[in-house]
């Protein structure tokens, strides 16, 4: 898509660079043209006043115009960038450009990675004033700063920005739950209902979450709240990671969200070597019986029963699980088709925009360009790989007790991470490399949708244990 318009892109970049240089020249010229004050004797002052009195009227308009121009240049982003002499925002802006390229040019989770990247750009532009982390310091919302404004280092006061208001939806846990309504409306739980054993594979795929939590806390020195937020990346569920992090360690929200969605996009790259390395060719050739047909009554009872069960066992997971199952009930009951379509489309799309931009805005230079970010990225990929391996290993273990003809193809175990339906498609693709006539997609969808429930439950465990 970029090859056809190389000349246009080069011209656009040249114009942007030219505009930047022009603004920079004007800014430096305005700074250098400040007139020094000259001390004169009383006689000289008198004569100067007499001479200037005749010209004052004629030059007043020119002075006003020059002062206005100087004031304008003082407010430009270039001037603020020069005055701050800080390279970190420039690095963050470049990182946002890279993420935009990955989203647009390479198709890496564009629906969320693109808004996140643009939010990162907005928050790091000098003088934009769209997001103020001071409002959310201390793990709570400082409502007085939203009402009265934020005092800047130079003593001036700035009102809360647009993204400050949008971020309330993240901080209060609204956006992730609304997204789960849309996810539920798009999810078919029939493969899980038809093969309940898939639930165990989905649970085993959360192994990486808890292993990464232990490593982050005991080896790399993250506190328990930070370790829990990092571990949840292993569930490959962006909204769950954002919801958990916003409650446990909101200062890490930017890098964790970027890691979660980046690794979701890299599922076809990360999983196949793990799957092939942990299985033999004989295991990859296992064929599974077709799934039974699931009745409409079962599909209606399932979301209600799951919500009630989770509420009785783990109430902290109810916001996510309840919204997921509400959306699924809209889909399956047959009398709320309009609500189901709204949840799948309009609601989902609007909330994704708000969520992505708000989360991206938290990636300010002072918090993102930190050694912790590298630890988060490393532990995130370890958690994701560990979850994929956990599902495969449990499937192999279950096969020790299952009779011939009822064995599970271990490749579907890696689909237990909740990257729906990408992880299931990877299981299908890897399986067909050894047997092109072996169709594992619907079998893999069982662990895949079970992983959505499993990651939400794991998040509920962390919130219940660490949130207080």
CA-based nearest residue to 219, from 227, 210, 228: 227
Residue ranges per structural domain of the chain? 88-168, 171-466
Residue 331 pLDDT > 90: yes
At 405, the pLDDT band (50, 70, 90 cuts) reads confident
What pLDDT score was predicted for residue 232? Answer: 94
pLDDT for 82 equals: 63
What Rg do the C-alpha atoms of the chain give, in angstroms?
28
Average pLDDT over residues 338-351: 96
Q: Which of 132-141, 207-216, 366-375, 432-441 has the lowest mean pLDDT?
A: 132-141
Diameter of the chain measured on Cα atoms: 113
Per-residue pLDDT tens digits for 370-403: 888 889 999 999 999 999 999 999 999 999 999 9
Mean of pLDDT values over 216-240: 92
133-137, 289-293, 463-467: least confident range: 133-137
Confidence at 29, pLDDT banded by 50, 70, 90: very low
Average pLDDT over residues 69-86: 65
**Predicted model pTM:** 0.81
Q: What is the pLDDT of residue 7?
A: 57
Give the range among 31-45, 46-60, 250-264, 349-363 with minimum mean pLDDT: 31-45
- Confidence check: pLDDT of 344 > 80: yes
Mean pLDDT, the chain, as a whole number?
Answer: 85
Pairwise pLDDT comparison (148 vs 428), residue with the higher score: 428
Rounded-to-integer distance, Cα 378 and Cα 193, Å: 35
């Amino acid at each position: 898509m970029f090859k056809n318009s190389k000349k246009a892109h080069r011209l656009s970049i040249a114009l942007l660079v030219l505009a930047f240089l022009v603004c920079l020249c004007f800014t430096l010229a305005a700074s250098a043209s400040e007139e020094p004050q000259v001390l004169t004797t009383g006689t000289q002052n008198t004569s100067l006043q007499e001479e200037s009195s005749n010209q004052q009227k004629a030059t007043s308009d020119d002075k006003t115009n020059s002062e206005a121009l100087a004031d304008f240049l003082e407010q430009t982003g270039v001037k603020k960038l020069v005055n701050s002499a800080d390279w970190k925002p420039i690095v963050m802006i470049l990182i946002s450009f890279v993420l935009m390229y990955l989203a647009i040019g390479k198709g890496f989770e564009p629906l969320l990675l693109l808004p996140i990247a643009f939010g990162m750009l907005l928050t790091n532009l000098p003088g934009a004033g769209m997001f103020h982390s001071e409002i959310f310091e201390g793990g709570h919302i400082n409502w007085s700063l939203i009402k009265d404004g934020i005092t800047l280092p130079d003593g001036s006061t700035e009102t809360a920005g647009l993204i400050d208001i949008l971020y309330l939806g993240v901080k209060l846990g609204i956006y992730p739950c609304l997204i789960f309504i849309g996810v539920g409306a798009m999810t078919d739980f029939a493969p899980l209902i038809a093969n309940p054993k898939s639930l165990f594979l989905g649970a085993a795929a959360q192994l990486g979450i808890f292993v990464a939590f232990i490593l982050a806390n005991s080896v790399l020195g993250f506190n328990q709240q930070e370790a829990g937020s990092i571990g949840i990346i292993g569930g490959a569920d962006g909204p769950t990671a954002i919801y958990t992090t916003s409650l446990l360690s909101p200062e890490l929200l930017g890098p964790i969200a970027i890691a979660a969605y980046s690794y979701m996009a890299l599922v076809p790259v990360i999983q196949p070597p793990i799957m092939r390395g942990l299985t033999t060719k004989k295991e990859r050739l296992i064929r599974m019986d077709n799934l039974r047909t699931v009745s409409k009554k079962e599909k209606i009872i399932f979301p209600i029963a799951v919500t009630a069960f989770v509420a009785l066992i783990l109430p902290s997971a109810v916001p996510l699980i309840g919204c997921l199952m509400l959306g699924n009930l809209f889909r399956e009951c047959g009398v709320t088709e309009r609500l189901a379509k709204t949840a799948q489309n309009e609601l989902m799309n609007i909330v994704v925009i708000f969520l992505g931009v708000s989360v991206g805005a938290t990636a300010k230079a002072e918090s993102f360009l930190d050694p912790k970010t590298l630890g988060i990225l490393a532990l995130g990929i370890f958690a994701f790989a560990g979850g994929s391996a956990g599902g495969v290993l449990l499937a192999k273990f279950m096969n020790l007790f299952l009779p011939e003809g009822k064995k599970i193809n271990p490749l579907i175990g890696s689909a237990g991470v909740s990257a729906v339906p990408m992880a299931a498609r990877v299981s299908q693709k890897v399986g067909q490399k050894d047997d092109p006539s072996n169709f594992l997609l619907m079998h893999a969808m069982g662990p895949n949708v079970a992983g959505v429930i499993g990651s939400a439950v794991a998040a509920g465990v962390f919130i219940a244990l660490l949130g207080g």
